Each structure stands twice: as C-alpha cells, then as structure tokens.
Amino acid sequence: MSLAAETRELAPMTEGDLDAVLAIEAATAAFPWQRGHFADSLKAGYSGWTLRVGGQVVGYAMIMAAVDEAHLLNIAIDPALQRRGLGRWLLVRAMDAARQSGMFSMLLEVRPSNEGARALYAALGFAEIGRRKGYYPAADGREDAIVMQRALVEVQA
C-alpha cells in the first residue's frame, strides 16, 4: 500500500470493523484483546476509532472517558505499516477528539519493553507518572506498566 498517495481518515469504530481490528490486534499483541473486549467497550460507550488508508482499516484506538480524563486503553497499527508515522497521526487525532469532547488530560499504560511506543508517547508530551506492578501478562510471568499522562488543554486561571 502506497501511503503517500492515499488519504488518511479517522472514523468511529463500529461492530463491522471488528474483524479488521482483531486481525491487527492479533498481529501486534502477544496477549491480544478478544472480540468481546472490543464489542463490550463499544457497547459501554467508549470511543473507538479506526484509521483508514485508502478505505482500509490499518489501525485503531480505544479510549475510555472518566470524568474529564481520557484513558487510552488500546492502540495499534498494522505491523506492515508501522514506522511510517501512522501511529503518531492516529494518536494525535484521538487526542484532538478527546479534547473536543471535554477531556483535560489523557492517561495510558505501556509496557517498559515496548520502547517504540514509549518513544512515541514521550515525543508527544506524555510523562511518566507512576508504575503498576505486574500489570501485564508476559511470557515469563507478569510485566509492570509505566503509567503516562499528558494534558490535553491548558488550564486557564
């Protein structure tokens, strides 16, 4: 797929997108979410977004709103298209959507071993605010989560 010639589109995730989302999830996660995780998130009213290039789903993000904070639950790009700026593009648009819906900050967890994601989040202004011990399943037991946060709007005094 030639990204230079294709239009990127952010679209709300629907049940009809789940086959494509699950294929990306299975290809990117050692312990992937199942269909029920995505379907239940959509039914609960979480903001699910797809990134489409040339009409094809190539990435997604799932965000839960809690009062005035957006919690990035899951985000992924098709492995064949990673390292081309699509993850950054998707996350920036998802942050914009959260800001427009009244969220003041975004919170996320990331594996310490996921250096690419950590670098992207840091480049976009996320800062480490804590750790969750044994948060993620791992091949050798459990892996901690680094908790990161970023303001979405400046607070006016």
Active site residues: 109, 121
3-state secondary structure of 17: helix
Taking a C-beta distance cutoff of 8 angstroms, is the pair 39, 13 a contact?
no
Write out the DSSP string of 52-76. Answer: EETTEEEEEEEEEEETTEEEEEEEE
Say how many residues make up the chain.
157
Beta bridge partners of 56: 53
